Amino acid sequence: MSKDTQILEEFTSSEYKYGFESNIEADSAPKGLNEDIVRFISHKKEEPEWMLEWRLKAYRHWLTLEEPKWPNVTYPEINYQDIIYYSAPKQKVAPKSLDEVDPELRATFEKLGISLQEQKRLTGVAVDAVLDSVSVATTFKDKLAELGIIFCSFSEAVKEHPELVKKYIGSVVPVNDNYFSALNSAVFSDGSFCYIPKGVRCPMELSTYFRINAANTGQFERTLIIADEGSYVSYLEGCTAPMRDENQLHAAVVEIYAAKDAEVKYSTVQNWYPGDKDGKGGIYNFVTKRGICAGDHSKISWTQVETGSAITWKYPSCILKGDHSVGEFYSVAVTNNMQQADTGTKMVHIGKNTKSRIVSKGVSAGKSQNSYRGLVKVFKRAENARNHSQCDSLLMGDRCGAHTFPYIESENSTAQIEHEATTSKIGEDQIFYCTQRGIDEESAVALIVNGYCKEVLNQLPMEFAVEAQKLLALTLEGSVG
Amino acid sequence: MSNAIKADLKQNILNNFKSFEAELNGQSRSEVHQLRRKALDSFESVGFPGVKNEEYKYTPITKSLGKEFDFNNISKSGTIESKKVNDFLIKDLDAYNIVIINGQFSKEYSNVSSVDPKLSIQSLAEAFAEQQALLSTHFAKYANSESDTFTALNTAFSKEGVFINVDSNYIVDKPIAIYFISDADREKVIAQPRNLILVGKNSEVEIIESFYTIGAETSFTNVVSEIVVGENAHVHYAKIGLENDKAHHIGNTQVYQAANSVFNATTATLEGGMVRNNMNIVLDAEGCEANMYGLYLLNGKQHVDNHTMVDHRKPNSFSNELYKGIMNEKSTGVFNGKIFVRQDAQKTNAFQSNKNILLSDDATINTKPQLEIWADDVKCSHGATTGQLDEEQLFYLRARGLSKESARAMLLYAFAHEAIEKVKSDAVRDYLDKLIKERLNKNFQ
Amino acid sequence: MLSIKNLHASIDDKEILRGIDLEVKAGEVHAIMGPNGSGKSTLASVLAGREDYEVTQGSIDFLGNDLLDLGAEERAREGLFLAFQYPVEIPGVSSTNFLKTAVNQIREHRGQEPLDAVSFLTLIKEKMKLVEMDQSLLSRSLNEGFSGGEKKRNEIFQMAVLEPKLAILDETDSGLDIDALRIVANGVNQLKNSDNATVVVTHYQRLLDYIVPDFVHVLFNGRIVKSGTKELALELEEKGYDWIKEEVNEATA
């Protein structure tokens, strides 16, 4: 066995550090899915009739759909009747202030490095914390409200701002969009809602922190971000889950609406439990994320660092409808051990002079499979559309795979589309150069991988970037040669 | 298209197979015929590709065939005057000429009598009878009926076509040019020629396959060529598509390379209605080299789809690919390039590039360059671009006094020429060059 | 400081070094010369611990350690530095970040506290002057897009920062114009003291006008076939290597 392989072997022993389980009493629905469960969830959330009808419509449509088989991933069939679709931490009364939040719950988030106490929080970040299916706390609400910004849990939004929810829910990701979005539409239990009014530049990062705690539950949250004319917001999302032997399903939907001149930046650091080194357990992360640049000169930018989940299946997309609108997608996807990732983006150019940019960096190690799948579509009226895509894959070890599936469809002769992709091995020469300067092999790998991903990491807000770099090093601990 | 028509087409073909079998005069128990039956089974289970078939996503061939053909009568022979045949022959090309009319080997027009004993060129039908050992080793062993339904269809009805065998250590003295002509003068025609080309160790040969149609009726050509490149052998291959607007064409070129062999291919589609070229290359040994070039110049409502696949199975091989397309008017171009690098294929170098120019707002290009890599010590890259002529270059030429039209033609020619410049024979290259220039002046102003 | 005894090394079963003996003491400068393919760069690589090479016989002692027992980074931390013939480019990793990681890992090895950002910056600014390097190179990706001369200067700059006990310069002069050569040589000379030693691997005598060696060794066919003082280098410059080859052939005939 060569030294490289030895080091690779060692690498598989790195531990998932967020694998603890919290002992929080939960209020759950019985296992399984039927119309009664949908009604149960809607009732629990004290939703108005229209919301229930919307869910039921989605549920009925879901029944007619088949689970998609085209992603380059394999997993045993999911038994949708064996999942708990609703689990909420038990709280006797809704907390009036953050001090009233269950201390055990607060401790859970403290442990994850998320403080729900505003004064302790890093300035400049407002957090909506979601445990299992339910939003437990939102910080800095009042301060944001002064600017007219609405940042609250989805269920609160349904009650307090029904006109906004009614208008935008399902407008970007329609109920019938795909199998998992239909499922989510039927059973979503909570999530974050955000509205930035006209001309307002949100002064702090808004962030949602997701945590799956209870066993056998699926997490189906829904996020809706509406950026009105000329507004700006930067939104962060983080996630972790306990280590469990069974697989857990996470099927979320994120919708972003950007009006004229609005800009939304959405960053994700995804660190769901990836399963153990033999592929046992881990989260199935089947997520639909889409934004529409509805108005002229609007911009949506997705940045994602994907290190967790047993299976990742997501394509944050931009529909560039407004003229001169811009879509961006920056992604780092790291897979190790038995992880599988099929991720990428769709850039749909409809408006004139629309621009999109895709930078995807895949790193595969262990026995993992890492696929980039992307679509750049230019419609006939999208005069002068521009796209540049760069997809690089880095391979570590000889038992992993890297796959690139870019689809390019152009119906307009003035469009300019460029796609470049490379696949290479992490350079032995580079590692030797580092070790000759006294740097140990692991740090050398972390250094090189971070350098390789820099273009994407640079897009993240400061605190997140540091977090992401650490995460990369941790995910690839002990890897390579 | 409705599933009913699809089912009808399929049923007609299954019925047709019975009469085809009956015509075989007792050969139906032969080894080859068992392969045909197996292929028919594959075809029966898969049928024609539907709209959801990923491999035919952008090429609605089934719909188009369903409109034009009922598949009640598959193989047809045609008669063409010699003058017409002579019109097709590539000027100044000294070659062994083979003429296939409506899928049938034409002894009358083929000129293969005076060949060296180290080279055999004959009709596939003859080879079935005379070259049983070679056929039983190679026939239908490379083109996979299970993965492509049109290959299955061709294999099921395989009877006529060209068989070429080049012995070891033999450099074939001149190119072998195969002219496939569909005679649709009087009625619709379906031709399914099948070719097997074996090139022995250390040998070298150049093969040119070109496709034409006569007449105003619709035609459907479903051709399969299997090419085996022996150890350290060199094969230069060109496929030229010059069928008319009413022609449907599905071509499968299936290449298998042994150690240290070289395969150079150029696929130029300059005319045709709905064309699909599949070029599949399997590099099953170390030290192989495969170069693929492609050009498609489209106008009107032409639809040309190039699918290529290079399968690196062993270490230290090299593949390089460049496909270029110019789409005008309401035409559609499709490119799909797959590169597979298997786990054993360390030290693979694979490069792929697809470049397109759209000249009209009604033209479409769909491209999907695809890398699938399971080995880590590799260098692979692919790129795809879609755009227009460079305005700066255009302006530069006009500033030097060229008219807008000739400046455009000059730039388009330069763009296109790169994709055919690796053709081995000067005569073939000149022939393509001339066709490209004519086309650019006529259709791309 | 360095003691090489009967060193044999091969790559892919091909023997390149066939019995090297060499003693280097503190304060000395040794030059290793020889025609192309004689094994000069292999010797440098084996000393630095490149894994492509297999040592089949012999021993190397470095400051009382068995060098062959140490991994590449351990050798570096013990004070062995290789200036690469072809410095590697690492996209996205800035020179500063790279050097800081290296310095602090070496300090950790020596039981020292890591340098904070300020003292680190002070240190590298001071060392940059030594090789007249432009500060902008520090924030750029390591060696990426550097000219040949910049890369070589960057190697000497790293050497200045890491302060090795034994520096091996592998063809550091190749591809340098005369000005760059002078700068590089100046840097090396200023770093020289009675506690450290330098091994200069080169093809050309030119460098030795600037870095004056105490000993010159000629490597041919994997062996040191002749040793002498700097006059030997001049003789080689004048007469080429053919006479050495003949001598060797006669001796073995």
Q: Which helix (H) or strand (E) holds B296?
A: strand B289-298
Q: How many domains does chain C have?
A: 3
Is B368 in the same domain as B422? no
Please name the residue of chain B whose CA is at the shortest distance from the CA of residue A404: B371
CA dihedral A171, A176, A177, A181 (to 10 degrees): 90
Listed in sequence order, the residues at least 6 apart from B299 whose beta carbon sits closer than 8 Å to its beta carbon are: B327, B328, B329, B331, B443, B444
Q: Does residue C31 form part of some domain?
A: no
Q: Determine the pLDDT at residue B78.
A: 61
**Mean of the pLDDT values across residues B328-342?**
94
Domain holding C228, by residue range, is 204-212+221-253
Which tens digit of pLDDT belongs to each residue from C40-65? 989 999 999 888 899 999 999 999 99
Among candidates C82, C93, C105 on the partner chain, residue whose Cβ is nearest the Cβ of A436: C82
Are C21 and C30 in contact, with CB atoms under 8 Å apart? Answer: no
Please name the residue of chain B whose CA is at the shortest distance from the CA of residue A412: B361
Q: Determine the pLDDT at residue A19.
A: 62
How far apart, in whole angstroms, are the C-alpha atoms of residue C248 and residue B78?
80
* φ, ψ of residue B219 in degrees (nearest 5): -135, 155
Chains A and C contact (Cβ–Cβ under 8 Å for 3 or more pairs): yes
- Given pLDDT bands bounded at 50, 70 and 90, which one contains residue A466? confident
A401–B373: do the CB atoms touch at under 8 Å? Answer: yes
Which tens digit of pLDDT belongs to each residue from A278-318? 888 888 889 999 999 999 999 999 999 988 888 898 999 99
Grouping H, G, I as helix, E, B as strand and the rest as coil, residue B63 is helix
* C87 in reach of chain A (CB within 8 A): yes
Question: In 3D, which of A339, A195, A357, A206 has the Cα closest to residue A281?
Answer: A339
Q: Determine the pLDDT at residue A4.
A: 40
- Given pLDDT bands bounded at 50, 70 and 90, which one contains residue A131? low
Please name the residue of chain A whose CA is at the shortest distance from the CA of residue C164: A437
How far apart, in whole angstroms, are the C-alpha atoms of residue B413 and residue B418?
9
Q: Does residue C177 form part of some domain?
A: no
Strands B318-327 and B176-183: unpaired
Distances from the Cα of C193 to the Cα of A186, A437, B21, C27, angstroms? 77, 21, 94, 6
Spell out which residues of chain A touch residue C115, defining contact as CB-CB under 8 Å. Answer: none
Two tokens at A184?
A: 């989510």
Question: In 3D, which of A105, A132, A291, A107 has the Cα closest to residue A220?
Answer: A132
Residues 181-220 of C with CB under 8 A from A: none
Among candidates B358, B367, B376 on the partner chain, residue whose Cβ is nearest the Cβ of A397: B376
* Mean pLDDT for chain B overall: 90
- Given pLDDT bands bounded at 50, 70 and 90, which one contains residue A241? low
User: How far is it between the farthest Cα atoms of chain C?
Assistant: 63
* C48 in reach of chain A (CB within 8 A): yes
Q: Which helix (H) or strand (E) holds A126?
A: strand A125-131
Residues of A at the B interface (Cβ-Cβ below 8 Å)? 70, 380, 393, 395-425
By CB atoms closer than 10 A (0-12, 13-18, 19+), residue A75 is middle
Q: Determine the pLDDT at residue B303.
A: 97
Spell out which residues of chain C touch residue A3, defining contact as CB-CB under 8 Å. Answer: 51
Strands A282-293 and A253-258: parallel
C90–A447: do the CB atoms touch at under 8 Å? Answer: yes
Q: Does residue A481 form part of some domain?
A: no
Q: Does residue B292 form part of some domain?
A: yes
Is B186 in the same domain as B288? yes
Spell out which residues of chain C touch residue A434, defining contact as CB-CB under 8 Å. Answer: 73, 90, 98, 102
Residues 124-163 of C with CB under 8 A from A: 141-142, 158, 162
How far apart, in whole angstroms, are the C-alpha atoms of residue B217 and residue B68?
10
Is B365 in the same domain as B415? no
Chains C and B contact (Cβ–Cβ under 8 Å for 3 or more pairs): no
Is B336 in the same domain as B424? no
How far apart, in whole angstroms, are the C-alpha atoms of residue B208 and residue B56?
26
Of B368 and B27, the structure prediction assigns the larger pLDDT to B368
**Mean of the pLDDT values across residues A417-422?**
88
How far apart, in whole angstroms, are the C-alpha atoms of residue A430 and residue C247?
40
Which tens digit of pLDDT belongs to each residue from B200-237? 999 999 999 999 999 888 999 999 999 999 999 999 99
Which of A220-229, A453-462, B145-154, B228-237 shows the lowest per-residue confidence on average (mean pLDDT)? A453-462
A438–C109: do the CB atoms touch at under 8 Å? Answer: yes
User: Computed from CA positions of residues C143, C149, C152, C153, in that sequence, does the dihedral angle turn out positive or negative?
Assistant: negative
Listed in sequence order, the residues at least 6 apart from C242 whose beta carbon sits closer than 8 Å to its beta carbon are: none
A423–B373: do the CB atoms touch at under 8 Å? Answer: yes
Q: Determine the pLDDT at residue A21.
A: 66
Two tokens at C20?
A: 């090297």
A116 pLDDT higher than 60: no
Is B168 in the same domain as B110? yes
* Three-point CA angle A415, B59, A327, nearest 5°: 30
Spell out which residues of chain C touch residue A447, defining contact as CB-CB under 8 Å. Answer: 90, 93, 97-98, 101
Q: Determine the pLDDT at residue B270.
A: 95
User: Computed from CA positions of residues C132, C138, C143, C144, in that sequence, does the dihedral angle turn out positive or negative?
Assistant: negative
A433–C88: do the CB atoms touch at under 8 Å? Answer: yes
Which tens digit of pLDDT belongs to each residue from B21-60? 887 776 667 888 899 999 999 999 888 888 778 889 899 9
Q: Does residue C110 form part of some domain?
A: yes
**Mean of the pLDDT values across residues C152-172?**
92
B376–A405: do the CB atoms touch at under 8 Å? Answer: no
Q: Which helix (H) or strand (E) holds C103?
A: helix C95-109
Cβ contacts from A onto C, under 8 A:
78
Please name the residue of chain C whose CA is at the shortest distance from the CA of residue A457: C92
A395–B359: do the CB atoms touch at under 8 Å? Answer: no
How far apart, in whole angstroms, are the C-alpha atoms of residue B147 and residue B155?
13
Question: In 3D, which of A328, A325, A330, A352 has the Cα closest to residue A343?
Answer: A330
Is C62 in the same domain as C92? no
A436–C141: do the CB atoms touch at under 8 Å? Answer: no
User: Computed from CA positions of residues C120, C126, C130, C131, in that sequence, does the dihedral angle turn out positive or negative?
Assistant: positive
Radius of gyration of chain A (CA): 22
**Mean of the pLDDT values across residues B68-73?**
76
Q: Does residue A165 form part of some domain?
A: yes
How far apart, in whole angstroms, are the C-alpha atoms of residue B52 and residue A239?
35
Q: What is the percent of chain B where pLDDT is above 90?
A: 62
Q: Which chains touch B (3 or more CB pairs under 8 A)?
A: A
**Mean of the pLDDT values across residues A354-364?**
94
Interface test with B, best of A73, A404, A429, A445 (most B CBs within 10 A): A404
A6 pLDDT higher than 90: no
In the numeric block, the tokens 């290479």 are attached to: A424
Two tokens at B374?
A: 């399971």
Are B225 and B208 in contact, with CB atoms under 8 Å apart? Answer: no
Among candidates B377, B382, B386 on the partner chain, residue whose Cβ is nearest the Cβ of A417: B386
Is B381 in the same domain as B266? yes
Two tokens at A79?
A: 């038994």
C84–A434: do the CB atoms touch at under 8 Å? Answer: no
Grouping H, G, I as helix, E, B as strand and the rest as coil, residue C206 is helix
Please name the residue of chain B whose CA is at the shortest distance from the CA of residue A416: B387
Q: Cα A405 vs. chain centroid, distance in angstroms?
A: 21
Is C122 in the same domain as C151? yes
* Mean pLDDT for chain C overall: 89
Of B2 and B348, the structure prediction assigns the larger pLDDT to B348
* φ, ψ of residue A292 in degrees (nearest 5): -120, 125
- Given pLDDT bands bounded at 50, 70 and 90, which one contains residue A5? very low
Is B240 in the same domain as B306? yes
Q: How many domains does chain A have?
A: 1
Give strand pairing partners of B319.
Answer: B290, B350
Q: Determine the pLDDT at residue A97.
A: 55
* Mean pLDDT for chain A overall: 83
Are B158 and B123 in contact, with CB atoms under 8 Å apart? Answer: no
B123 pLDDT higher than 70: yes
In the numeric block, the tokens 């079963």 are attached to: C13
Q: Does residue C176 form part of some domain?
A: no
A324 pLDDT higher than 70: yes
Are B68 and B248 in contact, with CB atoms under 8 Å apart? Answer: yes
Interface test with A, best of B353, B360, B376, B392 (most A CBs within 10 A): B376
Two tokens at A351?
A: 């408006």
B361–A395: do the CB atoms touch at under 8 Å? Answer: no
Strands B219-229 and B247-257: parallel
By CB atoms closer than 10 A (0-12, 13-18, 19+), residue B356 is buried
Q: How many domains does chain B have?
A: 2
Domain holding B407, by residue range, is 390-445
Domain holding A234, by residue range, is 3-475
A413–B359: do the CB atoms touch at under 8 Å? Answer: yes
Spell out which residues of chain B touch residue A419, defining contact as CB-CB under 8 Å. Answer: 369, 382-385
- Given pLDDT bands bounded at 50, 70 and 90, which one contains residue B3? low
Spell out which residues of chain C touch residue A440, defining contact as CB-CB under 8 Å. Answer: 73, 105
Spell out which residues of chain C touch residue A450, defining contact as CB-CB under 8 Å. Answer: 92-93
Among candidates A395, A403, A412 on the partner chain, residue whose Cβ is nearest the Cβ of B376: A395
- Given pLDDT bands bounded at 50, 70 and 90, which one contains residue A389? very high
Which of A287-301, B245-259, B333-347 shows the lowest per-residue confidence on average (mean pLDDT)? B333-347
For the beta carbon of residue B399, count every other beta carbon within 10 angstroms: 9
Two tokens at C186?
A: 């100046």
Q: Determine the pLDDT at residue A122.
A: 44
Q: Does residue B54 form part of some domain?
A: no
- Given pLDDT bands bounded at 50, 70 and 90, which one contains residue A136? low
Is C99 in the same domain as C59? no
Of B401 and B105, the structure prediction assigns the larger pLDDT to B105
C91–A451: do the CB atoms touch at under 8 Å? Answer: yes
B253 pLDDT higher than 60: yes
Among candidates B360, B375, B379 on the partner chain, residue whose Cβ is nearest the Cβ of A413: B360
**Mean of the pLDDT values across residues B108-130?**
89
Query: What type of residue sits at position B284?
Result: D
How far apart, in whole angstroms, are the C-alpha atoms of residue A469 and residue C180?
37
User: Computed from CA positions of residues A76, A77, A82, A86, in that sequence, does the dihedral angle turn out positive or negative?
Assistant: positive
Distances from the Cα of C145 to the Cα of B444, C137, C140, C156, angstroms? 42, 10, 9, 18
Residues in chain C: 253
